[in-house]
A and B are shown apart, each in its own frame.
Chain A
Amino acid sequence: MHADPKGVLTGTHFIDGDHAACEGALAAGCRFVAGYPITPSTEVVERFAQRIPLVGGVFIQMEDEIASSIAIMGGAWAGKKVMTVTSGPGLSLMMEHVGLAAITETPCVIVDVQRGGPSTGLPTLPAQADMMQVKWGSHGDYEPIAICPNSPQECFDLMIKAFNLAETYRVPVFFMMDEVVGHMTERVVIPPADQIEVVERRWSAKKPGDYRPYDTGDDMVPDMVKAGDGYRIHITGLTHDERGYPAMNPAAQEKLVTRLLDKIRRNRENLVDVREDGVEGADVVVVSFGITSRVAGAAIESARRKGVKVGHLRLIIAWPFPAARIEALAGKVKAFVVPELNMGQMALEVERAVAGKTKVIGITHAGGTVHEPEVIEAKILEAAR
């Protein structure tokens, strides 16, 4: 279905990534946001607070990120599309509710405008060091989705995808920006509402009495209802059966956790979103994401001018990781080069996928600024030798 025109600011704008992300959320149909101020993400909620009164919805600034991350769960079960927005320290506080969203299958988008860490770290400067936290940060096994925009335009476009995936799979979707993408100002084109495809919630067609909150079909994703419609649902963070009732035994645990993982794992191929440039026939493939993909692009162009056959594989969706695609390339290339604004996170995932078949050269960076393109280029040249 098409976006509700009330939330769509059609036109050409000159705005930063934080603002564009907010517009993406509004266009996607997000009508409830709870947030807490934290640099460098605050502009997202500031804009939402400014825009939402006339779009029709609610913004509330909560007392902390713990509250924000569960207030949106309440909003989702009341029927709204929901989002919260934060950066590293706030993300750490939200982790428990990532697990709650996973086990209760509550669709939600969590925006993380990454900054240098650990702890308070570098509040105003970029990093990409939360990639493993969003994958593994909440206790227990779960499979989130993580999306990595590299420009204000993508903050708009991919935010719609983030909401659509949250509704399709009923999982928390992380929107992995960073300080540079959040604060860079570029042209952003917002199309008319009838050119924006949005996914509605998977509303159950069943009547109260026939409906069980965690019955699923072949796609392993249950249909949803909302509070107030007479279904008298029970939703718990405890391991539960199809009725939603606590079922604390190994068999119920096995069944539930397996399905929670499989609804993503078995759809992994549908969820692959990589942008490839000159990968076929390349000797070296650079795997990058977010802001680093733009820096890597400059390095790749320069290396190509020097005659190196270098391809670029950019992760739009970082989780689930496109392991099969990397594995397929592993026998064909001399090396993968993985620059990232952390001390080696997604490079581990590339290594896991290539399983020793090819060299993986990570280019780490502790954060605070972006890589020098020359550093990436030097590694490309070294790898091609």
Chain B
Amino acid sequence: MSENLIRGAAACDVDLSGVENEYSAVNPVMPYLRQERIPHIWCPGCGIGTSVNCFTRALSDSGLDLDKVAIVSGIGCTGRVAGYMNLDSFHTTHGRPIPFATGLKLANPDLRVVVYSGDGDLSAIGGNHLIHAARRNMDLMVVCINNFTYGMTGGQVAPTTPIGPTQTTMPYGNFESSFNLPFLADACGAVYVARWTVYHVKQLAKAMLEGLKKKGFVFIEAMSPCPTLYSRRNRLGDGVDQLKYYKEKSIVKNGADTKEVGLTYQGEIVVGKFVDRERPTWLDSMNDHYTKVFGDRFTRVGASHDEN
């Protein structure tokens, strides 16, 4: 049993004797996690762990060879996901998991590469990479955990923060317009765009499963509570209160026009699968184009990937 697990359990006054076997036997999630790194760093009520649970179920259902699945994260609370997954995993720099993943994918097209990071990492500092990877239809699945704030640094305003709530760098309430991320991803050419919350665990896991099987740029936004900073500072209650909000204010609209799915402060949340279309990936386009240009002299890059 890992020292961390023992230490964590001791701190919480929990008896773990015999637990590891029990975990392994009864918890289907554990084989997908680096058990020696548990407990994780996330706060009580945070939804990132729930999303990871959904992701492990999607991995499990996908039938993918897990040796061929790589996960790349940036920096921030969600940036720690890569470190807990029992996959080839890369914890990169702030905002740059998408270009790292691009290099990983193009240098070994046999890999199914997942980018798992937060809204600040992907849409602020990493915004340029997000839009260009979508434009290129790079064959990546991007999971964006949106908690409306910078959690790791103490609750600063994010590009996703709706107008109204207080953040440490918007001490009198946010007055800056926010991104509608599904609309952004859609407009830039993503072939699969969905939004769910961590209340919608079945739907989120299903979207991740579809995303894992989809070829091209997949963007899944998962709304997740930040009870420690965002909720507490704005007196929105704890994690459970945010889940209640997700439950009460979410409206499922599959195929919704992404222009119409922008979020407001504690307002209605349109969830669903918004985009599911086909478009050649960057690598397919390169291979097809060079086959036309060079004929037999050209060997397709990642030929085995073509067959999938």
| A, B in one complex | yes
- On A, residues with C-beta under 8 Å from B are 31-32, 34, 53-54, 56-58, 60, 62-64, 66-68, 70-80, 82, 96-97, 100, 226-238, 245-246
A229 to B70, CA, bound (A): 11
Q: Do B70 and A227 have beta carbons less than 8 Å apart?
A: yes
User: What are the nearest 9 A-B pairs in CB distance?
Assistant: A74-B103, A78-B107, A74-B104, A71-B103, A78-B108, A67-B99, A236-B91, A75-B107, A227-B88
Q: Which applies to chain A's interface (DSSP): helix, strand, loop or mixed? A: mixed
Q: Do A32 and B107 have beta carbons less than 8 Å apart?
A: yes
Q: Do A77 and B90 have beta carbons less than 8 Å apart?
A: yes
The winner among A32, A71, A74, A227 for most chain B CB atoms within 10 A is: A74
Given contacts A70-B103, A229-B67, 13 further A-B contacts (CB under 8 A): A53-B294, A60-B282, A70-B93, A71-B106, A78-B103, A79-B108, A226-B108, A227-B88, A228-B70, A232-B67, A233-B88, A238-B91, A245-B34
Q: List 8 A-B contacts (CB under 8 A).
A: A57-B301, A58-B107, A63-B132, A67-B96, A71-B103, A73-B100, A74-B100, A79-B108
Q: Please name all residues of chain A whose beta carbon is closer than 8 Å to the beta carbon of B86 when the two chains form the complex.
A: 232
Q: Which applies to chain B's interface (DSSP): helix, strand, loop or mixed? A: helix
Q: Is B250 an interface residue (CB 8 A)?
A: no
Q: Please name all residues of chain B whose beta carbon is closer than 8 Å to the beta carbon of A229 when the two chains form the complex.
A: 67
How many pairs of A and B residues are in contact by the CB < 8 Å rule? Answer: 141
Which of B281-299 touch A at CB < 8 Å?
282, 286, 290, 293-294, 297-299
Q: Please name all residues of chain A whose beta carbon is closer than 8 Å to the beta carbon of B129 when the two chains form the complex.
A: 63, 67
Q: How far is the CB of B8 from chain A (nearest CB, A)?
A: 15
Q: Do A227 and B91 have beta carbons less than 8 Å apart?
A: no
Q: How far is the CB of A216 from chain B (nearest CB, A)?
A: 20
Q: Do A34 and B103 have beta carbons less than 8 Å apart?
A: yes
Q: Is B234 an interface residue (CB 8 A)?
A: no
A237 to B104, CA, bound (A): 16
Q: Do A63 and B106 have beta carbons less than 8 Å apart?
A: no
The winner among B68, B70, B107 for most chain A CB atoms within 10 A is: B107
Q: Do A234 and B82 have beta carbons less than 8 Å apart?
A: yes
Q: Is B249 an interface residue (CB 8 A)?
A: no
Q: Is B6 an interface residue (CB 8 A)?
A: no
Q: How far is the CB of A58 from chain B (nearest CB, A)?
A: 5
Q: Is B215 an interface residue (CB 8 A)?
A: no
Q: Do A75 and B103 have beta carbons less than 8 Å apart?
A: yes
Q: Is B111 an interface residue (CB 8 A)?
A: yes
A212 to B68, CA, bound (A): 19
Q: 1/0 contact trace for B101-145 toward A, CB 8 Å?
A: 111111110110000000000000000110010000000000000
Q: How far is the CB of A320 from chain B (nearest CB, A)?
A: 25
A31 to B103, CA, bound (A): 11
Q: Do A233 and B93 have beta carbons less than 8 Å apart?
A: no
A80 to B104, CA, bound (A): 9
Q: Do A74 and B105 have beta carbons less than 8 Å apart?
A: yes
Q: Do B102 and A71 have beta carbons less than 8 Å apart?
A: yes
A22 to B65, CA, bound (A): 37
Q: Do B93 and A237 have beta carbons less than 8 Å apart?
A: yes
Q: How far is the CB of A208 from chain B (nearest CB, A)?
A: 8
Q: Do A72 and B93 have beta carbons less than 8 Å apart?
A: no
Q: Please name all residues of chain A whose beta carbon is closer than 8 Å to the beta carbon of B101 when the two chains form the complex.
A: 74
Q: Is B50 an interface residue (CB 8 A)?
A: no
A250 to B128, CA, bound (A): 35
Q: Do A60 and B92 have beta carbons less than 8 Å apart?
A: no
Pick the contact of B107: A74, A230, A232 (CB < 8 A).
A74
Which of B255-306 touch A at CB < 8 Å?
282, 286, 290, 293-294, 297-299, 301
Q: Do B103 and A235 have beta carbons less than 8 Å apart?
A: no
Q: How far is the CB of A270 from chain B (nearest CB, A)?
A: 29
Q: Is B232 an interface residue (CB 8 A)?
A: no
Q: Please name all residues of chain A whose beta carbon is closer than 8 Å to the beta carbon of B102 when the two chains form the complex.
A: 34, 60, 62, 67, 71, 74
Q: Please name all residues of chain A whose beta carbon is closer than 8 Å to the beta carbon of B107 when the two chains form the complex.
A: 31-32, 58, 74-76, 78-80, 82
A238 to B102, CA, bound (A): 21
Q: Do B100 and A64 have beta carbons less than 8 Å apart?
A: no
Residue of A nearest to B67 (CB): A230
A238 to B73, CA, bound (A): 12
A229 to B290, CA, bound (A): 28
Residue of B nearest to A56 (CB): B299
Q: How far is the CB of A269 from chain B (nearest CB, A)?
A: 33
Q: Do B128 and A53 have beta carbons less than 8 Å apart?
A: no
Q: Do A235 and B90 have beta carbons less than 8 Å apart?
A: yes
Q: Is B83 an interface residue (CB 8 A)?
A: yes
Q: 1/0 contact trace for B64-76 toward A, CB 8 Å?
A: 0001101010000
Q: How far is the CB of A76 from chain B (nearest CB, A)?
A: 8
Q: Do B83 and A246 have beta carbons less than 8 Å apart?
A: yes
Q: How far is the CB of A214 from chain B (nearest CB, A)?
A: 14
Q: How far is the CB of B90 from chain A (nearest CB, A)?
A: 5
Q: Is B180 an interface residue (CB 8 A)?
A: no
Residue of A nearest to B82 (CB): A234
Q: Do A58 and B99 have beta carbons less than 8 Å apart?
A: no
Q: How far is the CB of B217 from chain A (nearest CB, A)?
A: 14
Q: Please name all residues of chain B whose beta carbon is closer than 8 Å to the beta carbon of A60 when the two chains form the complex.
A: 102, 106, 282
Residue of B nearest to A72 (CB): B103
Q: Do A73 and B294 have beta carbons less than 8 Å apart?
A: no
Q: Is B184 an interface residue (CB 8 A)?
A: no
Q: Do B83 and A70 have beta carbons less than 8 Å apart?
A: no
Q: Do B111 and A234 have beta carbons less than 8 Å apart?
A: no
Q: Do A75 and B104 have beta carbons less than 8 Å apart?
A: yes
Q: Do B83 and A236 have beta carbons less than 8 Å apart?
A: yes
A64 to B108, CA, bound (A): 22
Q: 1/0 contact trace for B174-204 toward A, CB 8 Å?
A: 0000000000000000000000000000000
Q: Is B87 an interface residue (CB 8 A)?
A: yes
Q: 1/0 contact trace for B149-187 toward A, CB 8 Å?
A: 000000000000000000000000000000000000000
Q: Do A228 and B93 have beta carbons less than 8 Å apart?
A: no
Q: Please name all residues of chain A whose beta carbon is closer than 8 Å to the beta carbon of B290 when the two chains form the complex.
A: 53
Q: Is B37 an interface residue (CB 8 A)?
A: yes
